[in-house]
A and B are shown apart, each in its own frame.
Chain A
Amino acid sequence: MWIEERSTEAAAIEPVIAADDAPPAVRPPVAGVVAGAAWLAAAAVTVKWPDLEETPHTSTLAALQVAIGLTALALSVGAPWLRAAGRRLRVAAPWLLALALWVTGWQLATAKLGLLPRPFFAPPQALIEVYVEDWRRLLECTAHSLALLGAGFLIGGLAGFGAGVAIGWSRAAAYWGHPLLRLVGPVPATAWLPLAFFVFPSSRSASVFLIALAAGIPVAVLTWSGVAGVKNAYYDIARTLGASPRFLVLRVAIPAALPHVFVGLFMGLCASFSVLVVAEMLGVKAGLGWYLSWAQGWAAYVNMFAALLFMALVFCGLIALLFAARDRLLGWQSGLVRW
């Protein structure tokens, strides 16, 4: 029985503040020092070991590595006074060390020893070159992508949520909506691509429609299952206390279904990323997807890697935003998955 486990009433409610109030830990943050030293060593490799071919940004890379190394060292030495930042560094130290090793290995395999075929695999300094030379275009493309994604995801999310609530709540909506959802749901949004580009007046509106479709279907299905799965006792309680149908939908069904809705939004966001990139590669003449196919067309593999990395960071950031919104709204839930 789940409630019995929480009978330590006071302990469950008392916030954990002990960590903040404790005197600074005396033990030196070894892991942070090792990670900082590793980045400095990686910088030494970058500078001292000559490149096979002259590359302009080798020194920039070295400077960056030195900066990371020094920051890590400063944070570890200052950890006892830096509380949150110091603690975060201790958690991140193993990753920092691994990244230093990865960048060095990458450099050895490309710029220093040439183990990987040259035009297809670029050294890290070449990525820096792309970011330094082409940042304007990358940012423009990102803005285009975000505008398109934002419009599509907003429309799809709202429509999916509305449809899900309606199908989960109303028998009539379920009668008409369920078969449609069952038929349209499994078709990947990209399958509509040829039709959408033909039917819609512009490639932009076609893409917005496709992204909305990709985002809307998982949101609709999960909202629906969330609303349909609300315990009957929740409704019984509210009904005996005098709740109107409006109250039952807005104050009982929707809050109860919200955890499901967020799973749907997460799945919808991931699906809309995929449609966004495909749409930009095939029809829209802007955006990160277009940048990727453009880079491939000009055999600019370095630009492709740079754009891929940038895209990963942007999309990861968007999902982090969604999870932050969820954490605000669903703080009452125990055992949330962190992003």
Chain B
Amino acid sequence: MVAAATAPLPRGATGAGESVEIRGVSHAFRLRGEPLPVLDRVDFRVEPGELVALVGPSGCGKSTLLRLLAGLDAPAHGSVWSGGRLVSGPDPSRVLVFQDPTLYPWRTVRDNVALGPHARGELKGARARVDDALRLVGLESFSSAYPHQLSGGMAQRAALARALVNDPRVLLLDEPLGMLDALTRVAMQDEILALWRRAGFTALLVTHDVEEALLMASRVLVFSSRPARVEAVVPVELAYPRDRADPRFTRLRRDVLDLCMRASRARSPA
């Protein structure tokens, strides 16, 4: 689909991912005055440049975890660290990609991709980087199109370019492929993987597709249902590109699915 593995990276890409650490984080929402616990003493560490998948029952709090990591919300208890520094607010070195591409409909694809540099007042020096990012996701000929003219896959690629143009050290992917059709999804998995292997950022991928997690991640964290805690950590020691038909792959998939089943039963309000 896109020659992501051969296209040049955005100019100035350092390729240095940062470690990410969650220390004893508990978090709760208030729902009609009642506290609703979503995270329960979550602890884990992601090494620099690692791609870790977070799987678990839907609505268990994985997205909340990513929001805490992005610095959009502060945890009620515990702390969130990135590159050895306490996360106290949003920072362009940690970029979120949502399930919904959330492109601004009033901006062209190019202006959407240039959002980060524009927001930081660095638009002038970023022209070449924006072009590179567009080329990286194969959207250079659609740069003056508006989002409503794009297909779902193209919109999500534009969202990815909008994240990558900032040369993030940590990429937080919140079910980025959840709304795509099966074919586009498979193609985008390869693209993201290729980008990650070349750029070397740290990536956290929230997904509820176990196969996707096993195809892409070096470790899979299995979460329980709400309030979420890490139930199991499954290392995936298979070389890239991974083969879905590999017996070790199918065994891992069965194991992780089993873990997921058990994890979602563990806390069901029965």
Q: B-contacting residues of A (Cβ < 8 Å)?
A: 1, 3-4, 6-7, 9, 12-13, 231, 233-234, 236-244, 247, 251-252, 255-256, 258, 330, 332-334
Q: List 30 A-B contacts (CB under 8 A).
A: A7-B152, A9-B149, A9-B150, A231-B102, A233-B102, A234-B104, A236-B70, A237-B102, A237-B115, A237-B162, A238-B115, A239-B72, A239-B90, A240-B70, A240-B91, A240-B96, A241-B95, A241-B116, A241-B166, A242-B90, A242-B116, A242-B120, A242-B166, A251-B118, A255-B104, A332-B105, A332-B106, A332-B107, A332-B148, A334-B148
Say yes or no: is B151 at the interface (Cβ < 8 Å to chain A). yes
Say yes or no: is B98 at the interface (Cβ < 8 Å to chain A). yes
Contact of B150 with A241 in the complex, beta carbons under 8 Å: no
Residue on A nearest B103 in the bound complex, by CB: A237
Interface size on B, residues (CB 8 A): 38
| Least Cβ–Cβ distance between A254 and chain B, in angstroms | 10
| Least Cβ–Cβ distance between B101 and chain A, in angstroms | 8
Contact of B119 with A13 in the complex, beta carbons under 8 Å: no
**Which of B101, B106, B120, B151 neighbours the largest number of chain A CB atoms within 10 Å of its CB?**
B106
Which of A7, A242, A247, A330 is in CB contact (< 8 Å) with B92? A242
Contact of B145 with A13 in the complex, beta carbons under 8 Å: yes
| Interface set, chain B 220-263, CB cutoff 8 A to A | none
Residues of chain A lying within 8 A (CB to CB) of residue B71 = 240
Q: A-contacting residues of B (Cβ < 8 Å)?
A: 67, 70-72, 90-92, 94-96, 98, 100-102, 104-107, 115-116, 118-120, 142, 145-146, 148-155, 162, 166, 179, 181
In whole angstroms, what is the CA distance A258 to B105 when docked?
Answer: 12
Residues of chain B lying within 8 A (CB to CB) of residue A244 = 119
Residues of chain B lying within 8 A (CB to CB) of residue A238 = 115, 119
Closest 8 CB pairs of A and B: A241-B116, A243-B119, A7-B151, A3-B152, A242-B92, A242-B120, A233-B102, A240-B90
Which of B95, B152, B153 is in CB contact (< 8 Å) with A240? B95
Knowing A13-B142, A242-B91, A252-B104 are in contact, say whether A6-B148 is a contact too (CB < 8 A). yes
In whole angstroms, what is the CA distance A13 to B107 when docked?
Answer: 15
Which of A236, A239, A256 is in CB contact (< 8 Å) with B104? A256
In whole angstroms, what is the CA distance A233 to B67 when docked?
Answer: 11
In whole angstroms, what is the CA distance A255 to B154 when docked?
Answer: 23
Residue on B nearest A231 in the bound complex, by CB: B102
In whole angstroms, what is the CA distance A294 to B268 when docked?
Answer: 79
In whole angstroms, what is the CA distance A236 to B89 when docked?
Answer: 11
Contact of B119 with A247 in the complex, beta carbons under 8 Å: yes
Residue on B nearest A252 in the bound complex, by CB: B104
In whole angstroms, what is the CA distance A229 to B257 when docked?
Answer: 40
Given contacts A238-B115, A243-B119, A251-B119, 14 further A-B contacts (CB under 8 A): A4-B151, A6-B148, A6-B151, A9-B151, A13-B142, A13-B145, A236-B98, A238-B119, A240-B92, A240-B95, A241-B115, A242-B92, A255-B107, A333-B148
**Which of A231, A242, A243 neighbours the largest number of chain B CB atoms within 10 Å of its CB?**
A242
Contact of A332 with B151 in the complex, beta carbons under 8 Å: no
Residues of chain A lying within 8 A (CB to CB) of residue B145 = 13
Which of B90, B107, B115, B149 is in CB contact (< 8 Å) with A12? B149
In whole angstroms, what is the CA distance A82 to B119 when docked?
Answer: 49
In whole angstroms, what is the CA distance A334 to B105 when docked?
Answer: 10
In whole angstroms, what is the CA distance A299 to B6 when docked?
Answer: 84
In whole angstroms, what is the CA distance A334 to B115 when docked?
Answer: 22
Residues of chain B lying within 8 A (CB to CB) of residue A6 = 148-151
Residue on A nearest B172 in the bound complex, by CB: A240
Knowing A233-B102, A234-B104, A332-B105 are in contact, say whether A240-B151 is a contact too (CB < 8 A). no
